[in-house]
């Protein structure tokens, strides 16, 4: 099996964005390994299999990543919650993802968030907008976990050569539902309103 024929692992596959990505990637001919702690609510896309896995289970994550060429990490707590609820899926679970990627020689795309920089003051008037290299200023334990995730990617690139891309997502809906989403959404049909507002590239683009 060539590298391009190896499957792509998608965590958080049962969420709104995960389901959109699964359908889009399947339509483009990618073989997919889907996982989430919740059942997949839709008919499985062609070329996809689904397994229920807890991100906090390191051994299960290692097993499900076997033979995968890339891990699209969209799993974990996606809203502000108490620290203990964020800890296992977003902190320990992310470590399991990167350890699996290191072992398999896989690339990682990490779903970060604008909440990793959410306590910056909002620019007004002609003030300069924030750029991709602005300092982290997380606005919650959820945002803190996303800053941690981006730094984890930096560590695994520097120490282990794991190629990774961080995408700070603003919102993910078919169309804007309020004024804020006019600035956090994207017209791209692939992302359907999600906003890759900031990214950091390591060596080369994801497959």
Q: How far apart are CA 78 and CA 17, in angstroms?
A: 11
Other Cβ atoms closer than 10 A to 76: 24
Q: How far apart are CA 153 and CA 98, in angstroms?
A: 8
Of 168, 174, 182, whose CA–CA distance to 137 is shortest? 168
Residue numbers annotated as active site: 142
Pair 35, 73: CB distance under 8 Å: no
Other Cβ atoms closer than 10 A to 99: 17
């Amino acid at each position: 099996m060539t590298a391009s024929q190896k499957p792509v692992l998608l965590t958080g596959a049962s969420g709104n964005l995960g389901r959109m990505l699964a359908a889009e990637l399947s339509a483009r001919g990618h073989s997919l390994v889907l996982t989430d702690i919740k059942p997949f609510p839709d008919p499985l896309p062609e070329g996809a299999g689904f397994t229920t896995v807890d991100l906090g289970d390191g051994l299960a994550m290692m097993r499900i990543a076997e033979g995968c060429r890339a891990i699209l990490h969209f799993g974990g707590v996606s809203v502000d919650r108490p620290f203990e609820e964020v800890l296992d899926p977003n902190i320990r679970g992310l470590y399991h993802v990167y350890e699996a990627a290191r072992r398999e020689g896989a690339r990682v795309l990490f779903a970060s968030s604008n909440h990793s920089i959410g306590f910056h003051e909002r620019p007004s008037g002609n003030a300069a907008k924030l750029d991709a290299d602005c300092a982290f200023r997380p606005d919650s334990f959820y945002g803190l976990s996303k800053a941690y995730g981006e730094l984890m990617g930096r560590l695994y690139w520097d120490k282990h050569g794991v190629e990774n891309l961080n995408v700070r997502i603003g919102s993910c809906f078919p169309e804007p539902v309020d004024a804020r989403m006019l600035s956090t959404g994207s017209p791209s049909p692939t992302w359907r309103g999600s906003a890759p507002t900031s990214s950091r590239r390591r060596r080369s683009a994801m497959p």
